Amino acid sequence: MDSFSFSSEVGKNLIRRSLQGLWPHTPHDHQLEAVTKALDGTDVLAILPTGAGKTAILIIFMLVVIYMKEHPDVHAEHSARFPDDPIMVVVYPTNCLEEEQVRLCMLGRCFQMH
């Protein structure tokens, strides 16, 4: 049985390395905590103030999943956990938030990776 956990220090370092060149910012501790828990299969509810990086949690999560699938030679034992064509559905209450998501996603190369 594999005892690897993304929430471990080894897992967090793997996430940090995976994001290099994909995401222009260093993830905050609370973002990394949420992403690693989600990658481990734990449900996450992030209640954070405006501007604290909730949207980045979603983007970072998807960037890591896509990166793992596209680099199986580097992360083969971990990439098998994820679907080949990951999909994320995000519902926003306003167009402004949706446009912000697209802008941030383009910074993170979401559209250029696939």
| Cβ-contact 63, 108 below 8 angstroms | yes
8 Å CB contact between 86 and 64: no
More confident residue, 65 or 100: 65
Q: What angle (nearest 5°) sits at the alpha carbon of residue 35, between those of residues 100 and 13?
A: 115
**For residues 63 and 19, is the Cβ–Cβ distance under 8 A?**
yes
Inform me whether the pLDDT recorded for 90 exceeds 90: no
Q: Residue 114's closest CA among 58, 69, 76?
A: 69
Q: What is the mean pLDDT of residues 87-100?
A: 73
Enter the pTM of the model. Answer: 0.76
Greater confidence (72 vs 104) lies with: 72
What is the mean predicted confidence (pLDDT) over 34-55? 89
Distance CA 8, CA 13 (A): 9
Q: What pLDDT shows up at residue 113?
A: 43
